[in-house]
C-alpha cells in the first residue's frame, strides 16, 4: 500500500454501461493524461481496452469509450454519500435531475447564474486541462467543452455521463469516465483546473467534506472551483433566527480556507449564486505554488 493511500478492502463495485461507441479514446491530447489506480494510486498498465493495477491485481475497463474507474468509497470509510451516489446510478434519477433543471424556471435561472459565476471564477479561460467532477448531465459543462484543451468529464453515474455525452458528443481531448470524487484515478497535480459543483452539500460529515476537497486539491495543478452550502447564507441566518440548527452539510468560508491551507492552497475569491446570499457559494481556490 502506498503511503497515504486509502486502506480499502478488495470489494470494489464496478459500473458497466452501454453507450454509443466512442471512436476517440483520447489519452489527453497535449496534456498526456496518465491514470493511476484509484485504490493505491500506483501507475496503471494499459492493455487492450483495460487498465491493470499490478499492486491491487485489479482491472479497470474502457467500455464503449468510457473509462470505468469508479470504486465505491464506502470501502474506504466515506459512508455518508453512499446512498446518494447509488441513487444517481439509476438512469431514471439522472434523467429526472436533468428534466427538473429544464422545466423549473427557478432552476433554469440558477443554472444561468452558476454558469456566469463559474465563468467569472475561471477568468473566462478553463485552461489546457480540466477535470469536471461530478459533471452530471453537463449542466455547467458548456464553457468547459468550449474552452478546455483536455476535458475529463467524470461522474459516479453512468446515466449522467450518458446524458452529458449525448449532449456534447465526442471530440479530441474529451475523456469520459466514471470515478469517485473521493478516489480520483489521477496522479498529483494532473490537471490544471478542477471543478466540483454541487457535491459537498450532500455530505453531513465535516471530515468527509475535508477529504473531498483534499482529493480535488491533490489532483489540481493550479486551481479548484468548489461549491458549498454557505453557513453565512440568508437561509442559514433565517434558520438561526427561527431557533433551528444550521444545516449539517453547511460550511463556513473559514472552514474552506482551513482545508485549503492544509493542502498548500488558498481561497482567492468566493461568489454566492445569488446576490442576496443564496445557500450555494462557489470558491476559487489556488494552489500556493502556482499562485506564487
Ligand X SMILES: C[S@@+](CC[C@H](N)C(=O)[O-])C[C@H]1O[C@@H](n2cnc3c(N)ncnc32)[C@H](O)[C@@H]1O
Contact positions vs Zn ion (CB under 5 A)? 37, 39-40, 53, 55-56
Least distance from ligand X to the Cβ atom of residue 28, Å: 20
63 binds, among Zn ion, ligand X, none (CB under 5 to 8 A by kind): none
Verify binding: residue 17, ligand X, rule CB under 6 A: no
Verify binding: residue 155, ligand X, rule CB under 6 A: yes
Size of the site for ligand X (CB under 6 A): 20
Q: Are the CB atoms for 280 and 273 separated by under 8 Å? A: yes
Verify binding: residue 193, ligand X, rule CB under 6 A: no
56 binds, among ligand X, Zn ion, none (CB under 5 to 8 A by kind): Zn ion
33 binds, among ligand X, Zn ion, none (CB under 5 to 8 A by kind): none
Cell of 289: 505554488
Give buried/exposed letters for 187-208 (b at 16+ CB in 10 A, else e). beebbbbbbbbbbbbbbeeeeb
Verify binding: residue 131, ligand X, rule CB under 6 A: no
Helices (H) then strands (E): counts for the chain: 9, 11
Q: Are the CB atoms for 192 and 245 separated by under 8 Å? A: no
- Candidates 34, 113, 167, 198: give the one binding ligand X (CB under 6 A): 198
Judged by beta carbon, residue 74 or residue 271, the one nearer Zn ion is 74
Verify binding: residue 140, ligand X, rule CB under 6 A: yes
Cα–Cα distance for residue pair 206/222, rounded to 1 Å: 24
Least distance from ligand X to the Cβ atom of residue 157, Å: 3
Q: What are phi and psi of 142, to 5 degrees?
A: -50, -50
Which among 44, 47, 50 is positioned nearest to 14, based on CA atoms?
A: 50
Judged by beta carbon, residue 92 or residue 172, the one nearer ligand X is 92
Of the candidate spans 28-36, 42-50, 178-186, 239-247, the one that interacts with ligand X by CB under 6 A turns out to be: 178-186
37 binds, among ligand X, Zn ion, none (CB under 5 to 8 A by kind): Zn ion
Biggest distance spanned by C-alpha atoms of the chain? 60
**Angle formed at CA 11 by CA 5 and CA 15, multiple of 5 degrees:** 100
Amino acid at each position: 500500500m502506498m503511503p497515504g493511500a486509502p486502506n480499502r478492502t478488495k470489494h470494489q463495485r464496478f459500473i458497466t454501461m452501454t453507450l454509443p461507441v466512442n471512436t476517440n479514446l483520447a489519452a489527453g491530447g497535449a496534456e498526456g493524461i496518465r491514470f493511476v489506480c484509484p485504490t493505491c494510486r500506483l501507475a496503471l498498465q494499459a492493455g487492450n481496452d483495460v487498465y491493470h493495477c499490478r499492486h491491487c491485481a485489479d482491472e479497470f475497463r474502457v467500455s464503449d469509450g468510457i473509462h470505468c474507474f469508479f470504486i465505491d468509497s464506502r470501502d474506504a470509510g466515506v459512508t455518508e454519500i453512499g446512498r446518494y451516489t447509488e441513487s444517481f446510478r439509476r438512469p431514471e434519477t439522472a434523467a429526472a435531475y436533468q428534466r427538473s433543471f429544464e422545466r423549473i424556471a427557478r432552476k433554469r435561472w440558477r443554472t444561468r447564474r452558476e454558469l456566469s459565476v463559474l465563468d467569472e471564477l475561471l477568468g473566462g479561460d478553463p485552461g489546457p486541462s480540466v477535470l469536471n467532477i461530478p459533471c452530471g448531465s453537463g449542466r455547467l459543462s458548456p464553457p468547459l467543452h468550449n474552452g478546455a484543451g483536455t476535458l475529463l468529464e467524470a461522474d459516479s453515474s453512468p446515466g449522467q455521463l450518458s446524458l452529458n455525452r449525448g449532449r456534447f458528443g465526442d471530440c479530441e481531448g474529451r475523456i469520459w469516465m466514471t470515478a469517485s470524487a473521493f478516489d480520483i484515478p489521477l496522479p498529483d497535480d494532473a490537471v490544471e483546473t478542477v471543478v466540483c459543483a454541487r457535491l459537498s452539500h450532500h455530505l453531513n460529515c465535516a471530515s468527509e467534506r475535508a477529504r473531498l476537497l483534499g482529493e480535488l486539491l491533490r489532483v489540481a495543478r493550479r486551481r479548484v472551483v468548489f461549491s458549498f452550502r454557505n453557513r453565512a447564507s440568508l437561509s442559514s441566518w433565517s434558520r438561526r433566527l427561527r431557533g433551528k440548527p444550521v444545516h449539517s452539510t453547511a460550511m463556513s468560508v473559514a472552514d474552506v480556507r482551513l482545508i485549503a491551507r492544509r493542502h498548500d492552497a488558498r481561497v482567492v475569491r468566493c461568489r454566492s449564486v445569488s446576490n442576496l446570499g443564496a445557500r450555494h457559494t462557489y470558491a476559487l481556490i489556488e494552489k500556493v505554488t502556482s499562485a506564487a
